[in-house]
């Protein structure tokens, strides 16, 4: 196989840097918003709950859960698109 035919052969395009991390970024952002709204609306009113009483802990936990959720869902979407 020469170089010219290798360059013209159809192949699956590689995802660019931003497109490659689209779902994790969306999950982290939505999880952060979810963590903030969970703290704001449900949170701990007495302040004795170590995780729920401060927004500084709820937002990172929400971001982590959002990342895990998109990491779990991404293979499901890949199977349906194939």
Q: Where are the domains of the chain?
A: 18-76
pLDDT digits 0-9 by tens, 12-70: 556 677 777 888 899 999 999 999 999 899 888 787 887 788 889 999 999 999 999 98
What the block records as the tokens of 59 is 């937002």
pLDDT digits 0-9 by tens, 52-65: 888 899 999 999 99
pLDDT of residue 68: 94
Q: Are 35 and 42 in contact (CB under 8 A)?
A: no
pLDDT of residue 52: 80
φ, ψ (nearest 5 deg) of residue 16: -75, 175
DSSP state of 82: -
Helix ranges (DSSP H) in 1-82: 3-8, 17-20, 22-41, 55-81
Tell me the angle at which helices 22-41 and 55-81 cross, rounded to the nearest 10 degrees. Answer: 140
Nearest to 52 by CA among 10, 60, 77, 20: 60
pLDDT of residue 44: 81
Residue 7 has pLDDT above 60, yes or no: no
pLDDT of residue 67: 94
């Amino acid at each position: 196989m020469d170089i010219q035919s290798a360059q013209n052969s159809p192949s699956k395009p590689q995802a660019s840097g931003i497109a490659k991390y689209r779902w994790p970024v969306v999950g982290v952002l939505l999880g952060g918003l979810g963590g903030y709204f969970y703290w704001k609306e449900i949170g701990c009113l007495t302040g004795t709950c170590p995780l729920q009483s401060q927004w500084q802990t709820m937002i990172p936990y929400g971001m982590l859960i959002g990342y895990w959720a998109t990491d779990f869902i991404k293979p499901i979407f890949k199977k349906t698109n194939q």
